[in-house]
């Protein structure tokens, strides 16, 4: 009896313990369910909605780029592409691609790429097979879709450049977003999205890109879209209107085409608007839109004439005799010489135990400022440079835009170099030597300038001494208007007039550019020829006769330069031309033709109507016009 009682008590105790444990577990489960379904229900409802509703971005249309007259330079064309969805392909994908290759050419590399992407992505995610299809290819694919399971046509946009090589260095190009270029903008992560990589496309990327739209879709548990719930369109990029005249741009690019490597730029001397900016050889930016192939990319990089380089802003060259205006301005402004200063040129100048030679072996005789420019007498400017000194020359250069970045709205501008005593000591540890001033006075030695700086210098000389700044952007849709008024650089007008008179004399009888002067007196141009040596001429060669450029390898020939303006009576256009290793005076006739074309286009607009080139602000600063005959009447001589 006692044993039965003990057994009953043990069983009851165990039953109570087990029942209590079960009750505790049940209470915990009920409490947890209450917390999840009541207390924290809002959070889980949000998570469920986010899993059910997928928010996707819609790529915005890129803004167009227009020339000053409204001609489209960069546009968006329809991009028909053929895609394949693996889960819809009832037969093997390889068989489908093989059949499709009879309609749309596919290489083995294309097929390998497609198969790799299909393996990496989910079966319901479309994979691009080929882009930029012709309308005939699209129609043929559509007709054959019953025999091409999983294959369909999709429509997007592709950047296009109607003028291809003519405006490549101005516009640049677009390309796929690199990992290093990913920023906070989520649109950059969209597959196939492209951004500006160079030129205006890069400089105005923020304006041209636009803002993305959104697309709400209901998706299932594996992410497949079931239906569209809503759509909010984004905003297309804004239009950018440039100061470029595409007709003139095409002419300038074509005119440079006969040279292996050259550059030219034209700007309005009053507004600073750049009408043409060309670098030769050029490239087709359309090749970059879809992704350039490795062979072409390697060819562009390895070509000695550097087709990808914008030589107008990134080419740094010894300016040669085109630098002499800065030497004269520095000397006149500082009082180192007077307007009546003369120098006798016997063909050389001695300084210490060194002789510095003029380009004309027999010398020019007595030269004043105007004739010094007209004949490009090196000895005259040796003397002037020695009197004024390198530091004052450098200071004057900066007032005219030489030796520093000008801030053109293009990426890649380089600063050039105008040395000073302090600069040389800091960079070489050696003091400046007097002979180096003489070399710098004719634009050689350490001096480097870009064509953009040379054209800006010319504009500031002939517009009355106003600090015009070159720019390419005329207007941005909804933005501020183009700036067209500029402060003065504080130069005495009489000194400006004397230097400009010397530039006019260059194109008059006896001047180094007289033989190529425009025959119409109303279109007469002034300017300065320049030749920059790229090799050292030794004493022995000088005594035996300097070798002709045509007898030298291309890379050892002198650079040819010219800076000019027109018309002489009322300057409006400034131009700078560089022909790399062009020898003697190959740049001068090119500049003449460009300045002539500028004025002929003005006449055509007046006679036949059409878009205006915009002569500048309503009240232009007083430009310098020289209409008197320059001194000197000797036959044209080689120089510069």
Q: Which two tokens stand for residue 276?
A: 């043409």
Give CA 243 to chain center in angstroms: 14
Residue 573 host element (H or E):
strand 573-579
| Beta-ladder partners of 564 | 527, 575
- For residue 360, give every residue at least 6 positions away whose Cβ sits within 8 Å of its Cβ, in sequence order, or none: 345, 347, 375, 377, 637, 638, 639
Q: What are 477-486's contacts with CB under 8 Å, separation 24+?
A: 477/63, 477/238, 477/239, 477/240, 478/238, 479/207, 479/238, 482/243, 482/271, 482/273, 483/272, 484/270, 484/271, 484/272, 484/273, 484/616, 484/617, 485/617, 485/621, 486/272, 486/621
Active site residue 334: no
C-alpha distance from residue 392 to each of 399, 405, 417, 444, 517 (Å):
11, 19, 14, 17, 33
Q: Which of 261, 279, 282, 321 is catalytic?
A: 321
Three-state secondary structure readout of 400-450 = CCCCCCCCCCCCCCCCCECCCHHHHHHHHCCCCCHHHHHHHHCCCCCCEEC
The 3-state DSSP class for residue 42 equals helix
DSSP string computed for 312-361: HHH--B--GGGGHHHHHHHHHHHTSS-TT--EEESSEEEETTEEEE-SST
Query: How far does the chain reach from its first CA to its final CA, in angstroms?
Result: 136
Residue 246 host element (H or E):
helix 246-255
Residue 250 host element (H or E):
helix 246-255
| Beta-ladder partners of 576 | 265, 563
DSSP string computed for 57-73: EEPPPPPPEE-TTS-EE
Q: Which residues are catalytic, by number?
A: 321
């Amino acid at each position: 009896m006692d044993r039965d009682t003990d057994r009953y008590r043990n069983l009851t105790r165990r039953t109570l313990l087990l029942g209590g444990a079960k009750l505790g577990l049940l209470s915990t489960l009920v409490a947890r369910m209450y917390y999840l379904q009541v207390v924290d229900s809002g959070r889980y409802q949000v998570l469920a909605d986010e899993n059910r509703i997928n928010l996707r971005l819609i790529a915005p249309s890129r803004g167009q780029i227009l020339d000053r007259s409204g001609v489209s330079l960069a546009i968006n064309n329809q991009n028909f592409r053929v895609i394949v969805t693996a889960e819809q392909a009832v037969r093997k994908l390889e068989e489908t691609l093989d059949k499709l290759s009879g309609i749309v050419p596919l290489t083995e590399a294309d097929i390998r790429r497609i198969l790799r992407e299909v393996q990496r992505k989910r079966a319901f995610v479309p994979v691009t097979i080929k882009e930029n299809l012709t309308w005939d290819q699209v129609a043929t694919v559509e007709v054959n879709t019953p025999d091409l399971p999983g294959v369909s046509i999709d429509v997007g946009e592709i950047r296009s450049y109607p003028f291809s090589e003519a405006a490549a260095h101005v516009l640049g190009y677009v390309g796929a977003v690199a990992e290093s270029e990913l920023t906070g903008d989520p649109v950059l992560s969209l597959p196939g999205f492209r951004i500006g990589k160079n030129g205006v496309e890069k400089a105005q990327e923020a304006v041209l890109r636009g803002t993305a739209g959104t697309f709400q879709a209901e998706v299932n548990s594996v992410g497949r879209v079931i239906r569209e719930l809503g759509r909010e369109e984004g905003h297309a990029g804004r239009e950018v209107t440039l100061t470029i005249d595409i007709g003139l741009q095409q002419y300038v690019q074509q005119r440079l085409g006969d040279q292996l490597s050259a550059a030219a730029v034209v700007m309005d001397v009053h507004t600073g608007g750049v009408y043409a900016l060309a670098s030769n050889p050029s490239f087709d930016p359309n090749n970059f839109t879809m992704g350039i192939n490795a062979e072409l990319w390697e060819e562009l990089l390895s070509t000695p004439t550097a087709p990808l380089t914008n030589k107008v802003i990134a080419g740094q060259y010894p300016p040669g005799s085109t630098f002499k205006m800065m030497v004269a301005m520095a000397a006149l402004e500082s009082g180192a010489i007077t307007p009546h200063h003369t120098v006798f040129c016997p063909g050389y100048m001695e300084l210490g135990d060194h002789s510095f030679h003029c380009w004309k072996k027999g010398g020019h005789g007595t030269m004043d400022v105007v004739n010094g420019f007209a004949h490009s007498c090196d000895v005259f400017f040796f003397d002037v440079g020695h009197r004024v000194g390198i530091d004052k020359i450098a200071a004057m250069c900066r007032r005219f835009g030489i030796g520093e970045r000008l801030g053109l709205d293009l990426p890649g501008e380089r600063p050039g170099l105008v040395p000073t005593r302090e600069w040389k000591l800091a960079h070489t540890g050696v003091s400046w030597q007097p002979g180096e001033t003489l070399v710098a006075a004719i634009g050689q030695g350490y001096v480097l300038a870009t064509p953009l700086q040379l054209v800006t210098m010319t504009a500031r000389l002939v517009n009355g001494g106003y600090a015009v700044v070159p720019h390419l952007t005329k207007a941005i849709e909804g933005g501020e208007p183009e700036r067209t008024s500029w402060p003065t650089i504080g130069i005495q007008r009489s000194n400006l007039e004397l230097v400009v008179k010397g530039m006019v004399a260059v194109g008059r009888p006896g001047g180094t550019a007289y033989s190529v002067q425009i025959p119409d007196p109303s279109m007469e141009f002034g300017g300065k020829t320049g030749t920059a040596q790229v090799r050292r001429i030794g004493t022995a060669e000088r005594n035996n006769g300097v070798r002709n450029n045509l007898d030298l390898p291309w890379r050892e020939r002198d650079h040819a330069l010219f800076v000019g303006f027109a018309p002489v009576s009322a300057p409006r256009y400034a131009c700078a031309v560089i022909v790399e290793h062009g020898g003697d005076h190959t740049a001068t006739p090119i500049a003449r033709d460009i300045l002539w074309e500028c004025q002929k286009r003005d006449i055509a607009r007046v006679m036949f109507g059409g878009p205006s080139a915009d002569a500048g602000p309503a009240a232009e600063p007083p430009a310098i016009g020289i209409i008197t005959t320059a001194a000197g009447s000797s036959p044209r001589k080689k120089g510069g």
